[in-house]
Structure 1
Amino acid sequence: MNKDIMLGWRTILVKCRWQRSSIFSVAILLWLTAYGSAAYGLELTMAKHLFDIKGTFNQPSDVAVAKNGTIYVVDGVNGRIQAFSPSGSYLFTIGRPGTGPGEFAFPLGMDIDESGRIYVADSRNHRIQIFTAKGDFISEIPVPDDNGNKADPTDVAVNDSGKWFFVADNNNHRILKFDIGSKKLVNSYGKPGAEKWEFRYPFLMHLHHNKDLYIVDVINTRVQVVNTEGKFVTFVGGWGVEKGQFFRPKGVTVDKKGLAYVSDSYMGVIQLFNITGTFHSVLGDPVSGGVRKFTTPVGLFVDDSMRLYVVEMLPGRLSVFSLDNAQ
């Protein structure tokens, strides 16, 4: 049967089988009961809740944190980026709805380079926009069509020096590499499919140590890891309802220890994986002693102080946690 599956404000028509709906019901029970407690043998990584930022978000999708601690949240439906202090106080807004320089039409993903420059995937305007740390517009780089099909940039991952970046072109199932200085497309990777370097709606990404690119491959229900030379590294996860599997992965980040965090917006959990792609643990709640549950978790970020930032799309919330010796 055909089902409309929402990716935030966007709809993708996906062919699903009846049994998947039944398995999904079982999956909810699985995580709430058998995996609801560490007593059942599931490894948990505890995350101590610090604070929430609610602001005036309308389906936020991604988050990035600068070296000085400034928190930037992509507020897509409102066509803007909101900035907050390390303690969660509102600072300023970048952009507004529109098509001109510094304006957005459903921005989805973002990244920050070492100098603090901000890169935003402006999906409906088919471009990447670059701003200063204070939100002043610098430049834009158009994302080209694919054989007449409009580009659909949903995320950007920039190297630390700000010389080049990758773009996830969601609807065209490809990853693009751009040189920032020349604003030119350097390479295009991927095609529709389920094999290595094939995608079904790549969404959010994370570039780890300027080397490995983690790509959330939504409908293939996995994270695909490749390197910056264009070579395949590994797959993380796959479709299913057991630990180490996904129902609808959306966001990914990697901490300084090399652990990858993947959000599952349907299951409402965040799972952790080793650098080899093997399952490590599930994010836990030190108060209940069980799995920490979220509502439509999407974008993720872990900073150098081991604070985890989680965007929850439908509640319009950013939750901040401490991963360092959380008890």
Structure 2
Amino acid sequence: MEYGWQRKILSVVIYLCLTACSSTVHGVELTTARHLFDIKDTFNQPSDVAVAKNGTIYVVDGVNCRIQAFSSAGSYLFTFGRPGTGPGEFAFPLGMDIDESGRVYVADSRNQKIQIFSAKGDFISEIPVPGTNGKKADPTDVAVDGSGQWFFVADNNNHRILKFDIASKKLISSYGKPGEEKGEFRYPFLMHLHKNKDLYIVDVINTRVQVVNTDGKFVCIVGGWGVEKGQFFRPKGVAVDKNGITYVSDSYMGVVQLFNVTGTFHSVLGDPVTGGVKKFTTPVGLFVDDSMRLYVVEMLPGRLSVFSLDNAK
């Protein structure tokens, strides 16, 4: 049973292991995250964040069925979207991405479509996400190719990834099926497309991040189930910085772990105040911008926390 007492006990064991190790000189390596500011008291179960080239911060405010935008300093700018099924309306949006021109792509999960907006939140178009074998699609995230050719959709309900042509808005290909082998998924959730080359996919119930190329060919696996460093209990969000370091949030454990380019363990996000592991409450979506600022969405507290990464390399 997914939420059984065994896993609850194990989550405590994992946390104690990480915390104990992080307090020793020769224990788990830490990457210091210096807190800059929080945005809170305005969201209801936010799930994802993306930052435009001009510094505008966009947050998916899921239960409120809207996107909120903020300045690079965290000041409120504007909101777009409302509950509904029509253009510019959402039914539990989950993931998002921004293309090179600043257009905002939103995975509108219960409306089974991807919606595209201008940088100021004006509705542009929508693309239906088809189901398969009699099951509706459940698009939980979208990742946009910087060249303007494709975007990718995580279909959580059907355990697959879909590739669409941006110009024609047509489905080009799909890959993945239920399972635990390479190229198989059990509830893919959030994603990150790194340098238009590798797609990082949070494979939630398989407790790993799968990396594939833009044609769906397997590249590597990051993490896996377990109680040691570099392993996960319930991964949810993923981001990759300009140096190729991968960041993965674990919503049960309340930590963010870092991995090297090869997928091996790098460090755990650390708190410079306590000198130990930085703890979060249900962390989900992540984003790292070019100035090495890390954005962490915490779903249940309804908070976005922003950090400066002091020693990530």
Counterpart residue number, 1:99: 85
TM-score under structure 2 length normalisation: 0.97
Q: After superposition, what is the alpha-carbon deviation per residue over 1:179-223, rounded to whole angstroms, capped at 9, x for unaligned? A: 011111000100000001100000000000000000000000000
Q: For the aligned residues, what is the CA RMSD?
A: 1.3
Counterpart residue number, 2:16: 29
- Which of residues 50, 66, 69 in structure 2 aligns to 1:64? 50
* In 1: Cα distance, 2:239 partner to 2:127 partner: 24
Query: 1:173 is matched by which residue type in structure 2?
Result: H
Q: How does 1:247-258 map to 2 (within 5 A)?
A: 247-258=233-244
* In 1: Cα distance, 2:128 partner to 2:80 partner: 19
1:87 aligns with 2:97: no
Q: CA deviation at 1:55?
A: 4.1
Q: CA deviation at 1:39?
A: 2.2
Q: Which 5+ residue runs of structure 2 have no aligned equivalent? A: none
Paired residue secondary structure (2:244): coil
- Which of residues 151, 158, 164 in structure 1 aligns to 2:137? 151
Counterpart residue number, 1:169: 155
| Preserved CA contact (<8 Å) 1:65 1:301 | yes
Counterpart residue number, 1:45: 31
* In 1: Cα distance, 2:173 partner to 2:130 partner: 12
Q: After superposition, what is the alpha-carbon deviation per residue over 1:29-49, rounded to whole angstroms, capped at 9, x for unaligned? A: 2233x1342524211110100
- Which of residues 118, 126, 132 in structure 2 aligns to 1:140? 126
Q: After superposition, what is the alpha-carbon deviation per residue over 1:50-93, rounded to whole angstroms, capped at 9, x for unaligned? A: 00001410000000000000000000000000000000000000
Counterpart residue number, 1:8: none
* In 1: Cα distance, 2:224 partner to 2:242 partner: 24
* In 1: Cα distance, 2:21 partner to 2:169 partner: 48
* In 1: Cα distance, 2:9 partner to 2:310 partner: 38
1:309 aligns with 2:276: no
Query: How many pairs align?
Result: 312
- Which of residues 161, 166, 182 in structure 2 aligns to 1:180? 166
Paired residue secondary structure (1:39): coil
Q: CA deviation at 1:3?
A: 4.0
Counterpart residue number, 2:94: 108
Query: 1:24 is matched by which residue type in structure 2?
Result: S
Greater mean deviation of Cα atoms: 226-235 or 59-68: 226-235
* In 1: Cα distance, 2:196 partner to 2:50 partner: 16
Counterpart residue number, 1:123: 109
Counterpart residue number, 1:201: 187
Paired residue secondary structure (2:46): coil
Counterpart residue number, 1:294: 280
Instruction: Call closer, same or farther: CA 1:181–1:42 in 2, change over 3 Å.
Output: same
Counterpart residue number, 1:228: 214
TM-score under structure 1 length normalisation: 0.93
